[in-house]
Structure 1
């Protein structure tokens, strides 16, 4: 890992956030790899099979604003601990939905899991807040590497526990997901961070002024493109694999390769950003995502799916890591919570739309059509980065 966090208190906080990220980020692989399969069993229409995964994404978007309010009122540690209890309840509700054969109850469980994920997503900001600019990439790296451990843990939960309850396929994996969220509760109790700046409107620039900054718009456009297209393909991928004759275990392993791709590059991404800057790394990430879509278009063998999903994850890491560090440079500490909430709400709102539409597109036009959508989106985001650089330079000269 490039760089170190030297303060003992900072080291402890990074260790806590690393462990909490490992436990919290284990949930999405369970939901993504099994949500569509449960949908196939219980959804009233084939076009609705990805609704459970979409409900999860909608939950992430819906949770961002309430999360910011709780952070403002309670602070990070109590808010994150509440989030872990929400995650536990999500797993239990989803399992009950499967046991009862109630599709809507299962979707409610995945939606609540999304609320928990909004809290987990905020760990990256907790790691960077109060960190000197030259250390932000290293702090973010600590948290994202926790996602690498989750990339192994989540799919293994799926494989080991999906048949743990006789006669109720998949329910055991969701119970295990809830248990992982519960384990995060005592871990987060050890978190000691400075108080979150109050969103009382008396400090910092107006949100509209920050949102007009070229750097904010570049960061947001890149985040939206990378996260929405990653989720778009990831939502449809496991279902497409099963439709093409592969087993649920092979689909789960495909998601494992995908999530490994999302987080394994974190060992070097921070160093790349320090060496080359945020924009080149973001553009590289978007190009790798395009290469993943091309792999998906080139065939429907198992390796086509796995390579596509893996490259999709690697590209997301570079693009999203760069966008997140760029976002941190757009605001002062007292402006952080409102800027972060605006960013995540906007991003996950678009991600939710893409997640909902991916199932319908897969049902209507097949897996190649899903891959085709990625290419123009990442191309447009690349143009935004290139064109926005000029405006960002002018803005910097005028300040």
Structure 2
């Protein structure tokens, strides 16, 4: 049996501790995303009146906030450290939740969009939890650390929708105002875990003094291109379908509770596999797991097109969540192999900026596509993008095998 280096044991013990703390914070901070997804389009529809084409705009602002928050998040954490960045983001989450509730009381659609965008900025920091878990891990433990942190999202998949169900009528007849007060409380509670993180800043580990390549050279790598493309496809298609789902379900005569539970099952499917996704990646390889995720996204579209009963929506969204999990975690694990320690913050931030830029575009178009062309068209769009990503993935595997042979 091959001996495990002592340094790896030390790093992985610290990585496991950090992963537990980050998983707890993910369970609470990550709940904000499911709250916004389940309610923001419904709030938008109520505030807009007759014109429903812009009802998904608040969700789009949430995603846009995440996209624009990625680069500042990377810069802030490079300058001040992971812990300081995460704590500051949680405080912003408290403020954005309170402001969202006030905007609903005031029937101010523009302010609600801005407040939800601030929640999206917080989401950019939450997205960095998975990278933070890998910072102190050995190469072999990184996929497990990433998936373990995202497993905290399984609890978020329960906490978020249940918060919606229990607080939607709290300040009746002003629907969902109580939900965003609940969002602020969840962000406040997450602060209890973040101060205990132990992630050395790069300048204290010598990483900042390491050799750094030009950014364009890193981004031009074949593996970066394919990893980013698969991450974009997994996340953008998931967001496109998920954002339209609550409005589509209400439009098909289903209840708000049915829609919230659909999101709950979807988020559970997104994060529950994270307990074993890292093990699957270690056993079968990152590329195979990404391919499986892309196939599940296509399966989601098949189910969604086949009918509009509650069961169709729920099964489709479960497949959508599973596809996102395998596709996005696998693509994230692929990304960790393209940068050096001194390059990590910059490359991670650029990757997330690219991903959430496309996710924002998908979110912006979701409501208009649903309003103009219907639920089936939204799902037909899944097929060409999943096929393209599978082709790129095959191109990468074949190219790397040819290089190994030569």
The TM-score bracket by the shorter chain reads over 0.9
Instruction: Give 1:10's aligned residue.
Output: 15
Matches within 5 A, 1:50-89: 50-89=56-95
Tell whether the 8 Å contact from 1:214 to 1:395 is kept in structure 2 after alignment.
no
Partners of 1:98 and 1:273 in 2: CA distance: 44
Tell whether the 8 Å contact from 2:144 to 2:277 is kept in structure 1 after alignment.
no
Pairing partner for 1:256 from 229, 254, 264:
264
Tell whether the 8 Å contact from 2:23 to 2:151 is kept in structure 1 after alignment.
yes
Equivalent residue pairs, number? 395
Tell whether the 8 Å contact from 2:211 to 2:342 is kept in structure 1 after alignment.
yes
Residue-by-residue CA offset, 1:70-89 (whole Å, 9 max, x unaligned)? 01211111111000011111
Pairing partner for 2:329 from 311, 321, 331:
321
Q: Alignment partner of 2:174: what SS?
A: coil
Shift of 1:388: 2.0
Partners of 1:307 and 1:337 in 2: CA distance: 37
Tell whether the 8 Å contact from 1:199 to 1:338 is kept in structure 2 after alignment.
no
Residue-by-residue CA offset, 1:248-294 (whole Å, 9 max, x unaligned)? 11100000011011011112211111111011111111001100011
Q: Which blocks of at least 5 consecutive residues in structure 1 are unaligned?
A: none
Instruction: Give 1:187's aligned residue.
Output: 193
Matches within 5 A, 1:15-30: 15-30=20-35
- Is structure 2 residue 170 aligned with structure 1 residue 164? yes
Instruction: Give 1:90's aligned residue.
Output: 96
Partners of 2:128 and 2:202 in 1: CA distance: 12
Gap change, CA 1:155 and 1:357, over 3 Å in 2: same
Instruction: Give 1:34's aligned residue.
Output: 39
Q: Decide which moves more: 44-53 or 142-151.
A: 44-53
Partners of 1:327 and 1:81 in 2: CA distance: 26
Partners of 1:5 and 1:188 in 2: CA distance: 23
- Is structure 2 residue 246 aligned with structure 1 residue 241? no
Instruction: Give 1:149's aligned residue.
Output: 155
Shift of 1:132: 1.3
Q: Alignment partner of 1:194: what SS?
A: coil
Q: Alignment partner of 1:192: what SS?
A: coil
Matches within 5 A, 1:274-285: 274-285=282-293
Instruction: Give 1:207's aligned residue.
Output: 215
Shift of 1:13: 1.5
Instruction: Give 1:116's aligned residue.
Output: 122
Residue-by-residue CA offset, 1:293-319 (whole Å, 9 max, x unaligned)? 111100111111111111000011011
Tell whether the 8 Å contact from 1:278 to 1:326 is kept in structure 2 after alignment.
yes
Tell whether the 8 Å contact from 2:240 to 2:363 is kept in structure 1 after alignment.
yes
Q: Please report the TM-score for the alignment, with normalisation by the length of structure 2.
A: 0.94
Q: Which blocks of at least 5 consecutive residues in structure 2 are unaligned?
A: 1-7
Q: Alignment partner of 2:53: what SS?
A: helix
Shift of 1:371: 0.4
Shift of 1:186: 2.6
Shift of 1:390: 2.6
Shift of 1:183: 1.2
Residue-by-residue CA offset, 1:161-193 (whole Å, 9 max, x unaligned)? 111113211011111011111111231111111
Residue-by-residue CA offset, 1:67-117 (whole Å, 9 max, x unaligned)? 111012111111110000111111111111110001111111110000000
Q: Alignment partner of 1:46: what SS?
A: coil
Partners of 2:215 and 2:347 in 1: CA distance: 7
Partners of 1:310 and 1:139 in 2: CA distance: 24
Q: Please report the TM-score for the alignment, with normalisation by the length of structure 1.
A: 0.95
Instruction: Give 1:331's aligned residue.
Output: 339
Gap change, CA 1:180 and 1:170, over 3 Å in 2: same
Shift of 1:199: 9.7
Q: Alignment partner of 1:391: what SS?
A: helix
Tell whether the 8 Å contact from 1:215 to 1:392 is kept in structure 2 after alignment.
no
Shift of 1:394: 5.0
Shift of 1:324: 0.6
Tell whether the 8 Å contact from 1:88 to 1:181 is kept in structure 2 after alignment.
yes
Shift of 1:247: 0.8
Partners of 1:144 and 1:290 in 2: CA distance: 23
Partners of 1:101 and 1:209 in 2: CA distance: 49
